[in-house]
Structure 1
Amino acid sequence: MTAAGSGAAAFDVLRATAFDLLTGGGADVSDPVHAGPLARLSEAAGGALASLSPGTLWPDLPPEGRPGNVTGSYGRLRRIATAWATPGTAQHGDDSVVARVVDALDVLHERHYNERLPETGNWWFWEIGTPAHLSRLCVLLGDRLGPARLDAYLAAVDRFCPDADRRAGNPRASESGANRADKASIVAFRGIAGRGADKLALARDGLSDVRDGGLRSVFRHVESGDGFYRDGSFIQHECVAYTGSYGLSLLVAVAEALALLNGSPWQVSDPDLPVLLDAVERSYAPFVHDGLLMDTVRGRAATRQAFSDAVAGHGLIGAVLLLARSAPEPYAGRFEELAKGWIERGRARPYLEHADVPETRRAVAVLRDGSVEAVPGPVGHFVFPSMDRVVHRRPTWSFAVSLSSRRIAAYEAINGENLHGWYTGDGMTYLYTSDLGQFGADFWPTVDPYRLPGTTVDDRERENLSFRAHCPPGAWAGGAVLDGRYGAAVMELDSEGASLRARKSWFFLDTAVVALGSGITGSDGRRVVTVVENRATEARPHVGDGWAHLPGVAGYVLDGAQCAVETRTGRWRDINAGDDTGGAFEPVTRRYASLWIDHGVDPVNASYAYTVLPGAARERTRRYCGRRPVRVAANTAELQAVRARGLLAAVFWAAGAVEGIAVDAPCVVIVRRARGRVVVAVADPSRTVDVVTIGFDRPLRGLVRADGTVTARTGRAPVVSVKLGGSLGASHTFELSASEPRSPRCDR
């Protein structure tokens, strides 16, 4: 099909849409709100132009044999071209600016990126990084390139990114997840620049994987490998929790493609599109705290100096606002409400002080619309069994845990990134309160990587990581959630390259998180500690008798803890030396307050117990320590449990009993008694149990609600059987009554 056959007018509309997407289009440059982004764009473009040398490009990005620097050079040229094409900048419409850009593009094309060259080094630079910039440059510059140049540049794009389906350098590799979405977006921009109907069809069909019958569609739930899972998880590279990195890239790329093709003959009409639209609230929103996209789902990307949790949060806001332009209702309205709330609460890095012109235009429209309500963040307990992540949210704080197992990697370290990520998946905890700068602002290069909050570690020194994703051998990782409000999480620690073993659990309540550890054993002649907290803060901790307090952060209830305050200095380059993401060599410094429990050298069956009270004042922490409203009911290698008023939560590592309930197989159980009802949640984080039978020591007269996996024998000695096999770590919930109900109902 030719462009003419598709209608030349359709391509004119598409290019106008693409131009609007890249430059902000009809943004009112006289509106003071746009002064900031226009000035930032002008300054960035001006700086790049000032250091651009004819024939040699940029001295700090030597392109010879460095595909990452080639991508970086195209990125700078794209920034200059964007400024040239954007009304209100110092470079807008300047012929000398566009001439210098075209000359530099010729240098890159002739020597470093054309259809005759072989791929060398990291394939990503050739097939995604560079063509992403070049395809957009072709849209921005349009007729100023001339037919011959345009055809030459697009031929290079076609060589390395002909479609979204296959890896050009390895045709046996089928693209999936973010890589597929990124390539579809590239092909869409390329199709618009070259007025190619066939390319636009490939972009549309690539998102849905028409070629392979939808096998790797970005709009379909997956059961293994890369993509969105039914429980809200997002995985890339087969085994890494990546909602906030690759998942973010996917959302941005799909939002762009949908916006570009919306209303055109190539509009995306996949019936499974709601899978992606639902993911905004199901997969992303639980991991956004006041505009910050949590590092627990950002993998090695957390070590990128220019890509903090706040920057990632801005990326998500921009993607969600762009997605609202093409999404049907009620999604569009809901997306605007979510984004407005994130922007208004995003005090760590105010959105309008950093957004580009297009993002500012969309954000301001929503912020000034009184009919759009800024919704608060979600409140509840969220378990993502398929990626071993748990997050507990309350109105003023959030608490996340990074787990790992033989299914999900404890860390990924490739391309020179995440060099010190040894323990980030060993139960590291992330506490978010009003102290929003904790995990941004130089946390990762300055925190002691051997002392991450929540982890149990020995004191050995380790070498930098390189090209490795480590999945520990343990089966246990995950947890149970009761009515979306309470939770229990668990992980079996099998320390990489050491004899250290431990069983770790966390119990999530209304105002507290209780952490238990048991079976802590090591025989390598090393000291073992459990890190309660390691906080970047200027506040001074107060240590009481059985408790501690860190102003603006939390209270901690625990016995035998040690406390220290230290100033630490590090370099971003020491943790990330990537070709295009490597950090600065200049040292940075932060002050830390830490709490830890010392288990001694070569511990045998050691244990710990501590409670975190997020946001609690000092006096409340002291009173909590005295009253102990949450009691540890058990903390052994076979059973860990806590009892609060009306609630019992237990991790059964083996068949056993505790305070009125007994089970005949390993599982996690949460029981809540209130108003003559007993509500129970049960899950199998190990994914090894087929059926578990739960016995109760009190009479229960009827089954009020349950799903189809539950069968019950009520009466004086009630017994409930739950089929856990095949549930993939999900929670099963049922409710019992002290009196016979009229008609039990099934929740499916």
Structure 2
Amino acid sequence: MRMPHSGSTGPRRRAILAASAASTLLPLAAGGTARAASGSGTASDVTPEADPYDTLLARAATQLTGGEFDAADPDFAAALKVLDTQASGWWRDLDRSAGRAALWSDLSPAKEPGNFGQSYTRLRTIAIARATPGTSLGDSTEVADALLEALRFLHTDAYNTTRPESGNWWFWEIGAPRALMDTCVLLREKIPAADLTAYVSTVAKFVPNPDRRTNIPTLSETGANRADKAVIVALRGLLARDADTLTLARDGLSDVRDKGKNSLFTYVTSGDGFYEDGSFVQHGSVAYTGTYGSVLLGSAGQLISLLADSDWAVTDPKTSVLYEAVERTFSPVVFDGLMMDALRGRATSREKAPDHKDGAAALSHILQLADGAPAAYAARWRALAKGWIRRNKTHPYLSLVGVPAIARAKAVVDDAAIPAADRLTGHFAFADMDRVVHRRPGWALTLSLSSKRIAAYEAGNGENLHGWYTGDGMTYLYDGDDLGQFGDGFWATVDPYRLPGTTVDTRERADIGTGGGTGTYVPKNAVAGGAALDGRYGAAAMELLADGSTLRARKAWFFLDNAVVALGADITASDGRSIETVVENRNLHADGAPRLTVDGRRQPSRTGWSASLPGARWAHLEGTGGYVFPDHPAQPSDSRGGAALRALREERTGTWRAINTGADTGGSTTPLTRRYLTLWLDHGVSPTASSYAYVLLPGASAAATAVWSHTRPVRIVANNATAQAVEARRHGLVAAHFWQPGSAAGLTASGPCTVVVRRGAAGMSLAVADPGRTGTTVTLELPFPVREVVSADDTVTVTPGRRGVVTVRVAGSRGHTHTARLR
């Protein structure tokens, strides 16, 4: 594992006890990223006569508690019950003895960073419950007094200006100070002045500004960490009634100190932040929209809201970058309220942070941002949110979030004037983070790639111990009828050697990320990514250079209206181990036994059944869809190079602890059992130039799968070390990835590139990309005449003729798609 720079060593503890992002999740009930419903805590609470600090402190408290609400409303009542249950449980277990060494026995000794960090988070939850009408702790003097004593204890024994940072920096600079400042906001009228000064001074030592890592002053903060610190500094400024500190917090969002170099309101072209193509990267090389990106959205949105209509209001005109990110960055990777796991990094290993909770957090942040956004943005976002909330019946949003988020969501759901947006469709190629998302009306498929630019995985601090193959071309199939596929114990129980879409060496692997700090594995391959055509079709490719193995493979995917074609070629290894390509590994949940049909014959449904299925042409899994295994040009007649289809029904038992031992995100040791149906292609031991071809037909019936297999509406015309290509005549579509100069499907390419071409009555459209980022120009000869150019990117030059010639200047385009429309 390659360890990144020290700026990447902090954990994002959002799962169980997170500070900034997780206030919207009921089990947390704290964190401050949500504020009251539309109209609460906004400009209406600012009057010329009001003290500005008191006004903003009251607003900050409202962001934590939700302000006024109807406790008799069933949705609010349920949220209150969860908050009360958690807070009262910690209240009962709080050690209030004079000689205590810790506030809770499981967080002893308190001096340890992970322990005092989590202690502050629990105190914050108790403080929120005390400040929220309707809980058993509401407005209790006894609770307030105990909280004040607990804060003094932690300050004396654990977190103060005399202690140097040790262990994980995140607890010192984000986790503990955020929870401490939130708690002080809620108890501000009861905390003695001397105590408050001591707490603020401590936070000032460890978070003097949002701009730098305190334990590494030369390291500039970026992305979510900068956003989190800006909120902490703002709260510190309010509590200290210090205008300069509030200015520092506001300016931190825009990075005034370094002239905008690390501004959260700018598109980046490398490193951390938002990219114009919708990508979001954190830790330098990790696709992190679903966690760090969501935290940034929540914290930046919160601070904008907190400081609105004050002397410190955020007025940076480039805040539009944040607004545009909702539809450009987040909407494509949220499926019916689920945050796609390919964008959640090591957070997939967190038991308390499944996809639906991270999705709920992102949805809450979007609605929070809508309160202060321009009307056109806000209207679209609320429609998006309403659609997500209505469609997710498996994990109802209102049961996942706390009072502040419920108030805002109910205002949207109950407003008949706000339409519920339909499920997003389209093809999205996120070249800057090696991700591809293909969305159709009933399903979506996400492709997780990696390269020398984007990590195959991140692990560390005991998290994501079995994430070895998650960036090796894993395909995540989302089905609107099964929203629990990845959120129902998947990562704790799935065979981590058989992730869908991957080609793997079956060698035994050791746990990764068991030490302190986080690290990334960045492979050596250049090619990862592809081209998108008309926002509807796409092609992608990845060169696989396996970690710790001689395994090499050329993999490609082609995305059509109702199918995804997966091709593999030049699959070679020499380590004496079997090589497999995994077609599917479907979570059947605790007791599922859906029918599996192969070539029209129903297969056994008993757990433990396995079979070799030589010559299989198609398969169908009830409730999921079809799989077709067509002949293809690279398929050798010699069986030694071929790939035999295998199938297995198994019951797997695992624990979350086996994949996450983190200090504050570690999973339980309780055994969890799920059933799986696995389909894979066996390439044999040490294959040479092996290949595969299969087609995914999500949502298709068995009859439709059989017809597709027989009629072959998509023809595989190349699958070798030079090119992989398909032709869909019904759509007038030709798509290819060229690994080197050559010809396929009538196309001739001068060098490596991905090409998608579609001909229709109105003309033709063309998309070209260089996902390896190695070329300067690519020339394509088309298999049909070109009369004129309707439109073209300025990087595209077209020479009309009987066989049109297209020259694309790909240098410096970072793998992005170049397009043209021709006649």
Q: TM-score, normalised by structure 2?
A: 0.88
Aligned residue number for residue 54 of structure 2? 12
Query: 1:590, 1:66 → 2: CA distance?
Result: 37
Q: What is the letter of the counterpart of residue 540 of structure 2?
A: A
1:285·1:377 contact (CA, 8 Å) conserved in 2? Answer: no
1:293 correspondence with 2:339: yes
Equivalents in 2 of 1:227, 1:648: separation in Å?
A: 35
The amino acid of 2:387's aligned partner reads: G
Residue from 710, 716, 719 that aligns with 2:805: 719
Q: How far is the alpha carbon of 1:441 from its aligned partner?
A: 1.6
Aligned-pair CA distance for 1:271: 1.2
Alignment correspondent of 1:321 = 367
Deviates more, 1:592-601 or 1:155-164: 155-164
Q: Counterpart in 2 of 1:543?
A: 598
Q: CA deviation at 1:13?
A: 1.5
The 5 Å alignment of 1:709-748 reads: 709-737=795-823
The residue type paired with residue 556 of structure 1 is: Y
- Equivalent residue letter for 1:496: D
1:556 to 613, 627, 632: 627
Cα distance in 1 for residues equivalent to 2:115 and 2:727? 57
SS at match of 2:437: strand
Alignment of 1:493 onto 2:544:
yes
Structure 1 position 419 matched with structure 2 position 465: yes
Confirm whether residue 664 of structure 1 aligns to residue 756 of structure 2.
no
Consecutive unaligned residues of structure 1, counting only runs of 5 or more, are: 1-5, 738-748
**Conserved 8 A contact 1:305-1:583:** yes
Give the residue type in structure 1 aligned to 2:783. D
Percent identity of paired positions between Structure 1 and Structure 2? 54
In the aligned structure 1, how far is the partner of 2:745 from the partner of 2:695?
21
Contact 2:727 2:735 in 1 (8 A): yes
Q: 2:596 is matched by which residue type in structure 1?
A: P
* 1:200 maps to amino acid: L
Deviation at 1:697, TM superposition (A): 3.3
Alignment-derived partner of residue 275 in structure 1: 321
CA apart distance, 1:238: 0.6
Quick check: 1:50 aligned with 2:92? yes
Cα distance, 1:223 vs structure 2: 1.4
Q: What's the offset of the Cα at 1:676?
A: 5.4
How far apart are the structure 1 equivalents of 2:512 and 2:174?
Answer: 25
- Structure 2: how far apart are the matches of 1:447 and 1:638? 35
Instruction: Write out the 4+ residue segments of structure 1 that deviate beyond 6 Å after TM superposition.
Output: none
Residue identity opposite 2:740 in structure 1: A
- 2:612 is the counterpart of 1:526: no
Give the distance between the partners of 1:127 and 1:88, measured in 2 at CA.
33
Name the amino acid aligned to 2:811. G
Question: Which whole-Å CA distance do the structure 2 matches of 1:595 and 1:315 have between them?
Answer: 34
For 1:626, which of 698, 710, 728 is the aligned residue? 710
Q: TM-score, normalised by structure 1?
A: 0.96
SS in 2 for 1:689: coil
CA contact (8 A) 1:290 1:347 kept: no
Q: What residue number does 2:649 align with?
A: 565
What CA distance in whole angstroms lies between the structure 1 residues aligned with 2:429 and 2:803? 31
**Alpha-carbon contact 1:67-1:121 (below 8 Å) kept:** yes
Deviation at 1:8, TM superposition (A): 6.1
Q: SS in structure 2 opposite 1:320?
A: helix
Q: Does 434-443 or 401-410 show the bigger shift?
A: 434-443
Letter in 2 for 1:523: S
- Alignment deviations for residues 530-550 of structure 1 (CA, whole Å, 9 cap, x no partner): 000001111242222411111
Deviations 1:701-733 (A, max 9, x none): 111111111212212232121111111111111
The residue number in structure 2 matching 1:29 is: 71
Question: SS where residue 327 of structure 2 aligns?
Answer: helix
What is the aligned counterpart of 1:484 among 535, 542, 562?
A: 535
Asked if the contact 1:310/1:348 (under 8 Å) is kept, the reply is: no
Equivalent pair of 2:793/2:820 in contact (CA under 8 Å): yes
Counterpart secondary structure, 2:382: helix
The 8 Å contact of residues 540 and 593 in structure 1, kept in 2 or not, is answered as no
Q: Which amino acid aligns with 2:798?
A: A
Distance 1:578 1:7 in 2: 49
1:682 is matched with which residue? 768
Contact 2:458 2:519 in 1 (8 A): yes
Which residue pairs with 1:143 in the alignment? Answer: 189
Distance 1:118 1:541 in 2: 60
Query: Residue 505 of structure 1 corresponds to which residue in structure 2?
Result: 556
Q: Give matches, 1:219-230, under 5 Å.
A: 219-230=265-276
Equivalent residue letter for 2:57? R
The one-character-per-residue Cα deviations of 1:75-130 (angstroms, maximum 9, x if unpaired) are 11101000000112111111111111112111111101111111110000100000
Post-superposition offset of 1:254: 0.8
CA RMSD of aligned residues (A): 1.3
After the TM superposition, which residues 104-119 of structure 1 pair with which residues of structure 2 at under 5 Å, given as runs?
A: 104-119=150-165
Q: Distance in 2 between matches of 1:431 and 1:238?
A: 27
Q: Which moved more, 1:525-534 or 1:558-567?
A: 558-567
- State which of 670, 677, 686 in structure 2 corresponds to 1:602: 686
Q: 1:536-567, CA deviations, whole angstroms, 9 ceiling, x for partnerless residues?
A: 11124222241111111121111642111000
User: Aligned partners of 1:105 and 1:464: how far apart in 2?
Assistant: 38
What amino acid is the match of 1:477?
A
C-alpha separation between the residues in 2 aligned to 1:516 and 1:287?
24
Matches within 5 A, 1:376-455: 376-433=422-479, 434-455=481-502
1:104/1:540 CA distance change after superposition, 3 Å: farther
- Counterpart of 1:326 in 2: which secondary structure? coil
Cα contact 2:726–2:745 (8 A) shared by 1: no
Mapped partners of 1:565, 1:405: distance in 2 = 33
Distance in 2, matches of 1:335 and 1:99, equals: 43
Residue 611 of structure 1 deviates from its aligned partner by: 0.3
CA distance change for structure 1 residues 322 and 159 in 2, over 3 Å: closer, same or farther?
A: same
Structure 2 counterpart SS, 1:144: coil
1:647-695 Cα shifts (integer Å, max 9, x gaps): 1100111111123221111101111111151211111000011111111
Determine the structure 2 residue equivalent to 1:473. 524
User: Compared with structure 1, are the counterparts of its residues 49 and 676 closer, same or farther at alpha carbon in structure 2 (3 Å cutoff)?
Assistant: closer
Matched to 1:439, the amino acid is F
Any conservation in 2 of the 1:679–1:734 contact (CA below 8 Å)?
A: yes
Task: Report if the CA contact (8 A) 1:39-1:89 is conserved.
Answer: yes
The answer to whether the aligner puts 1:346 opposite 2:392 as a matched pair is yes
Distance 1:553 1:470 in 2: 32
Q: Deviations over 1:116-147 (max 9, x none)?
A: 11111000010000011001001011111121
1:331-342 matches, within 5 Å, as 331-342=377-388
**How far apart are residue 348 of structure 1 and its match?**
2.8
Amino acid at match of 2:55: V
Give the CA deviation at 1:7: 8.2
Which protein, 1 or 2, shows the higher relative CO under an 8 Å CA cutoff with sep ≥ 6? 2
Q: Distance in 1 between matches of 2:271 and 2:364?
A: 27
Shift of 1:63: 3.6
How much has 1:458 moved relative to structure 2? 1.2
Alignment partner, residue 210 of structure 1: 256
Question: Structure 2 CA distance, aligned partners of 1:548 and 1:51?
Answer: 55
Partner of 1:585: 669
Give the aligned partner of residue 614 of structure 1: 698
Contact 2:112 2:158 in 1 (8 A): no
Distance 1:445 1:514 in 2: 29
Deviation at 1:364, TM superposition (A): 0.7
SS at match of 1:533: strand
How many residues were matched structurally?
732
Q: CA deviation at 1:65?
A: 4.5
How far did 1:414 drift? Answer: 1.4
1:189 aligns with 2:247: no
SS at match of 1:568: strand
Task: Note if contact 1:557-1:611 (Cα within 8 Å) is conserved in structure 2.
Answer: yes
Query: Corresponding residue for 2:509?
Result: 462
CA distance in 1, matches of 2:212, 2:179: 20
Which ranges in structure 2 are unaligned for 5 or more consecutive residues? 1-47, 600-615, 631-643
Partner Cα separation in structure 1 for residue 357 and residue 123 of structure 2: 22
